[in-house]
Structure 1
Amino acid sequence: MTSQDAAGDLGVRRMGSGVVIVVAGLGLGLVSGVLTAREGVSEWAFALTFGALIAIGEMVQFYVDRTRNRAPIATSAALAYAMLRGPSLETPPSVAQIIVVTTLATMIGICPRAIAGLRWDIVVSSRRALSVACTALVFSAVIPTDLGWNGSWRHAAPLCLAMLLGVLTAGIVDALVGAGQSTEMENKPFPAALRDELTVMGQIGMAMGLGGVLLAAGTSLLGLWAVPLVVVPLLLTQFAFRRFASAQRTYRTTVRSMARSTEIAGFSSPGQNARTASLAVAIGNDLGLTPARMEALEYAALLSGVGQLALADPSPGGASLLRTREERQRAAEIGAAVIERSGVLDHVAEIVRHSNDPYRHGRANDSSIPVESGIVNVALAYEQLVGEGSGQSPDKAMESIGLGIGAEYDPVVVESLRRVVGRGFRF
């Protein structure tokens, strides 16, 4: 299977649940549009202002972890619009109107990105709209329309609690949907996927949720004059997130450039490191590793052959398994030492250092050795047996690796490899 075929297969699998999410979002928006048209739009100035903020936020969305776009301004603005109550509004927007404004603004914000050829994800954007709809429903159910900010602590306390409940509802709904998608797309166990989503919610999501609460409270009390005052912190948040995303991209590019050095020097076959990394990531997902460990695992798989550059001659066809045990372990030690010199990849270096240790004499007797080392060991072995030019079938390769269970290879990792291959994994 080519990389284009793999990408297409991933797209089809992703859109399996993605179609349901998009259809649900559009259907909810359509029904809300009909209701809003019958009831009329209240507070046009607020609707247009917050709709513009949501659209602009979608236009300037970005990716932090390569799999999920982030739109801090759009998310905070949508949450704030769902929680407006106060003296600045004669009639708070209805739930239907909130959904319509959010959905339309989201679609308007996506269009320029699509026209410009920039990355966009209608599924994740639809998830945001659905989460905001849940916030509006919860907030409206808890807080009556005649209760708003009026300077009284008696009113402020329930409003604050309702806002926090609304934001929490949006986060939990999005986390549950996101975990389901991760389970479908990456074959990650649902509990592990939910853990990862909740971790993100506690980091980036908290900043966006608090921004929405501040924007809602400020606008409810001061009117639209508060919007530019509260948006400034959101812009700073956006800037900080984008800087972090840029640093991550630079970091990843550097690692991949280092990995290609073994291919250029002939110590590994073209694409071997990338293929090993893709399999290692698939196994890591199957075992439910955390995002931080997954990143270290991917980097370790990419850089696992760096130490071979210190050996006298390349292995035929980049097949490091043809070398002696001593040569492979010496290469692993040298590779780990090189990686450690970066000063920021210490955990990656530790994984590479033990990536050629036999399981019987390594992790079986020393639990401090990371399971990621065993994953890289198994992934590299499978790649060299099945990869381009090797000629073995997946079944034959699994049979060969199975002979080394408990001695050379970690049984838990080999069993995970069986599941990954059984699901149709192809390089």
Structure 2
Amino acid sequence: MHAAAGAVAGAGLGWTLWHGVAQPGTALAFGLLVTVGELARWGAGPGAREPAPLAAAGALAYALLGECAGRPTDHGVAQIVAVVVAGALVGAVPQVARGRAAALDHVARRVLTAGFAAVCFQPLYNSGELLQALGRGPYYALFLLVLLLLTALCDAVLAALMLRARTCPAPGPYGPFLRDELRALMGVGSAVCATGAVMALAVAVAGLWALPVFCVPLLLTQLSLRRYAAVRDTYRQTIASLARATEVAGYTSPGHAHRVAALSRAVGRELGLSGPDLTVLEYAALMHDIGQLSLVDPVPEGATALLPEAEQRRIALLGGAVVRQTGVPEAVAVVVERQADPYREQPLPARIVRAVNAYDDLSRESADGALCALERLRLGTARDYHPKVVESLARVLARGGVAGPAPG
């Protein structure tokens, strides 16, 4: 994908340098808009879906621009790509300087998405065929709506591909990532598309003075998204800190909760979970051993998978009671307290947590712990561990487990 974006960017920059910049004032205005939007994402977390809505809307508006203050524009697809590339690269310099490879993913995605919209709109508009066939009435608005939908779908496909490549060390299921991105289209994605289209139409009538008018709402939206992300990260860090209580107290081995959470999340994606379901799974996996704090005598190495069934269920019920006092969603407490039930009676997240927890407990018993643990899980599929969960876990491990640091 980087190669494709590089080829598109190189072709656009080369053509523009060779033929010169058409209407440089308009190009400079939109280039600055994209740059300001990218610079405004400073400090955004690497997991933010659209950390620069102003830049995205500005790039889309330039791709859909056919007139400026009533005068036809004569910039083409190549110049649109060149302006977006220049603005995105200048705005991404702080992110790249901080060593964030994801900034390059962001630039590549911006270039490909803007190029797609420009290819679909500019040749038809500049040739006059679009207005001749549709006029400026409702059919033209419908055309823009369809084009915006296709552009949003293109962006969702690219974002899902990049997130999958960053998350999985080897090819894994693509569907859950795409579902997450499509679900996000109903939020900031729809606002970006709508603002980009309205911005292009406003510039066509009022000129470049319309750009500052539409910058303020998107900047406020960006600030709100940043605050929401900060609150969400703080909430998650609080849960991760609670999960470490069993390690600090000596009830579980160091890093156990975070290993279980990271591997559970990967298995959940393998089984098709996404969005809020993955969040519930991760929180439950982080807090699955918190019931051990009620024990007088710690379990050796915290390995609850080796305990009798009745003791496992007692610890799980105690953990569910503790989790309910922390204010996390009810679904998290349900997963924690049902993790020791027979798998036929469990919801899918509880099945995943039980299997992954048992794997982490059993894999530390010998030098060939991973293979032995998987074999014991497969032998327990008659009652304790769901066969599909065990096989999904095996596929995740065969691809190298989880990429990056453990959660929290």
Q: Which residue in 2 is equivalent to 1:393?
A: 369
1:384 is displaced (CA, Å) by 0.7
Residue equivalent to 1:317: 301
Matched to 2:26, the amino acid is F
Aligned partner (choices 107, 115, 139) of residue 89 of structure 2: 107
Alpha carbons of structure 1 residues 54 and 253: separation in structure 2 relative to 1, 3 Å? same
Q: Distance in 2 between matches of 1:85 and 1:224?
A: 13
Partners in 2 of 1:67 and 1:85 — Cα distance?
32
Distance 2:197 2:280 in 1: 35
Q: Which amino acid aligns with 1:415?
A: E
Query: Does the residue aligned with 1:70 lie in a helix, a strand or coil?
Result: coil
Alignment RMSD: 2.4
Aligned equivalent of 1:423, options 393, 399, 407: 399
The superposition leaves residues 129-153 of structure 1 with CA deviations (integer Å, 9 ceiling, x where unpaired) of 101100011112443355899xxx9
Task: Tell me if structure 1 keeps the 8 A contact 2:292–2:319.
Answer: yes
Q: Contact (CA 8 Å) 1:315, 1:322: kept in 2 or not?
A: no
How many residue pairs match? The answer is: 396
Superposition pairs of residues 148-297 of structure 1, within 5 angstroms: 154-184=135-165, 185-186=167-168, 187-297=171-281
Counterpart of 1:353?
Answer: 337
CA, structure 1 residues 95+117, in 2 after alignment: closer, same or farther (shift >3 Å)?
Answer: same
Conserved 8 A contact 2:60-2:114: yes
Give the residue type in structure 2 aligned to 1:259.
A
Q: Flag the 1:170–1:202 CA change in 2: closer, same or farther, 3 A.
A: same
* Structure 2: stretches of 5+ with no match in the other structure: none
- Aligned to 1:124, which of 102, 106, 110? 106
For the structure 1 residues 225 and 182, does the alpha-carbon distance in structure 2 shift closer, same or farther, using more than 3 Å as the test? Answer: closer
Q: Distance in 1 between matches of 2:40 and 2:55?
A: 9
CA change 1:298–1:135 in 2 (3 A) is same
The code of the aligned residue for 1:357 comes to: D
- Write the letter of the residue equivalent to 1:347: A
The alignment status of 1:384 with 2:361, answered yes or no, reads: yes
User: 1:23 Cα deviation (Å)?
Assistant: 2.1
- Of the candidates 26, 33, 54, which is equivalent to residue 46 of structure 1? 26
Q: Which amino acid aligns with 2:138?
A: A
What is residue 17 of structure 1 aligned with on the other side?
A: none
Structure 1, 348-357 or 201-210: larger mean CA deviation: 201-210
Q: 1:63 to 1:335 in 2, by over 3 A?
A: farther
Q: Is the Cα–Cα contact under 8 Å of residues 305 and 362 in structure 2 kept in the other structure?
A: no
Q: What is the distance in 2 between the residues matched to 1:87 and 1:280?
A: 53
* 1:57 corresponds to 2:37: yes
Structure-2 separation of matches of 1:131 and 1:215: 17
Q: Distance in 1 between matches of 2:209 and 2:117?
A: 24
Q: Are the counterparts in 1 of residues 77 and 118 from structure 2 also a CA contact under 8 Å? A: yes
Give 1:297 shift.
0.6
Identity %: 35
**How far is the alpha carbon of 1:101 from its aligned partner?**
0.2
CA distance in 2, matches of 1:84, 1:69: 22
- Return the alpha-carbon distance in structure 2 between the equivalents of residues 104 and 413 of structure 1: 47
- How far, CA to CA, are the matches of 2:326 and 2:77 in structure 1? 52
Stretch of structure 1 that moved more, 344-353 or 112-121: 112-121
Structure 2 counterpart of 1:7: none
Displacement after TM superposition at 1:392 (Å): 4.0
Other structure's SS at 2:208 match: helix
Aligned to 1:30: 10
Which of 320, 335, 346 in structure 1 is aligned with 2:319? 335
TM-score (structure 1 length as normaliser): 0.86
Task: Classify 1:65/1:409 alpha carbon distance in 2 versus 1 (closer, same or farther; 3 Å).
Answer: farther
Q: Which amino acid aligns with 2:103?
A: D
The worse-fitting range, judged by mean Cα deviation, of 54-63 and 69-78 is: 54-63
**Change in CA separation of 1:179 and 1:66 when aligned onto 2, cut-off 3 Å:** closer
Q: In structure 1, list runs of 5 or more residues that go unmatched.
A: 1-20
Letter in 1 for 2:357: L
Superposition pairs of residues 87-98 of structure 1, within 5 angstroms = 87-88=68-69, 89-98=71-80
Could you tell me how far 1:98 is from its partner in structure 2?
0.3
Match of 1:83 among 64, 85, 90: 64
How far apart, CA to CA, are the structure 1 residues paired with 2:15 and 2:101? 33
Deviation of residue 117 (structure 1)? 5.3
